[in-house]
Amino acid sequence: MLDPNFHITTPRLYLSYLNPSNDAHMSFMVRLVNSPEIVAVVAQTHAKSPPPPQSVSEARLAMASAAERLEKTGSGRYIISLRTPDTDFTDESGDREYLGIVSMQLKRFPDIECPKIPDIGFLLLSEYHGKGYASEACNALMQHFKETRGHERFAGFTHPENVNSQRLFRRLGFEDRGTMDVAGVIWGNSSAARVAVWVKGVSPDTDLGDLGIGPGLGEASNMGSVVNKLVG
């Protein structure tokens, strides 16, 4: 069972496991993935995405297997909540203000060739954009993976036209490696997706193919829904 008390603390935020057993988490996810800004990001991919969950029970079902992986490996989604100064995480468990999710994915799909370094993802409700919260959450999660699992290299994948995400990668110190087909980033699909690739801590002469960042053994590329990696 996911530890409900696990959390990472930043100056303004808490990150904790996105927990399918927690109704408040699932209710927030339904709101998040049906919000106009996220629907627009999905639409930008021109992909046939499965419809987003419309209820707590649908969200729970969609996220059950991801929770098992999160528990075993730490790889998966973390929910971001506002931190109230001078209050313990456990003291305010009843009534949190959730802003979005941040994810760290490694070997996302057991049967598909996936990138060998963890990749970071993010999704915030629009009312929390432009305040530095996404950067704060991403930096904290990368630091956590560095301290607890020794990761020094990170990747980021997004749709080539997702300007906001790419600005965030740049703010986080990632380098732009251009647009390419990458396998193992689309939910339940062995096809490679054409994505903008950003990396951090990877030397410029490293062949990204050696890190599993490439078309893999999948089928021809498609403009798949990169957002599915966050919601599936």
In angstroms, give the least distance from the CB of 188 to ligand COA. 17
d(CA 44, CA 200): 25
For ligand COA, the binding residues in 11-30 under the rule CB under 6 A are none
Q: 68 by DSSP, 3-state: which?
A: helix
The single-letter DSSP state of residue 172 is: T
d(CA 70, CA 77): 7
In angstroms, give the least distance from the CB of 105 to ligand COA. 11
- Out of 34, 43, 64, 130, point to the residue binding ligand COA (CB under 6 A): 130
- Out of 75, 103, 105, 165, point to the residue binding ligand COA (CB under 6 A): 165
The single-letter DSSP state of residue 222 is: B
Q: Is 229 exposed, middle or buried (0-12, 13-18, 19+ CB in 10 A)?
A: buried
Other CB atoms within 10 Å distance of the CB of residue 15: 24
Smaller CB distance to ligand COA: residue 141 or 226? 226
Tokens of 92: 């305010």
Smaller CB distance to ligand COA: residue 67 or 172? 172
The single-letter DSSP state of residue 46 is: T
CB 100 within 8 A of CB 80: yes
In angstroms, give the least distance from the CB of 25 to ligand COA. 17
In angstroms, give the least distance from the CB of 132 to ligand COA. 2
The answer to the question of residue 132 lying near ligand COA (CB under 6 A) is yes
Q: Which stretch binds ligand COA (CB under 6 A): 63-71, 143-151, 159-167, 212-220?
A: 159-167
CB-closest chain residue to ligand COA:
132
The answer to the question of residue 134 lying near ligand COA (CB under 6 A) is yes
Closest CA to 27 of 127, 98, 128: 98
Q: Which residues bind ligand COA (CB under 6 A)?
A: 37-38, 41, 121-124, 129-135, 158, 162, 164-165, 168, 171, 226-227
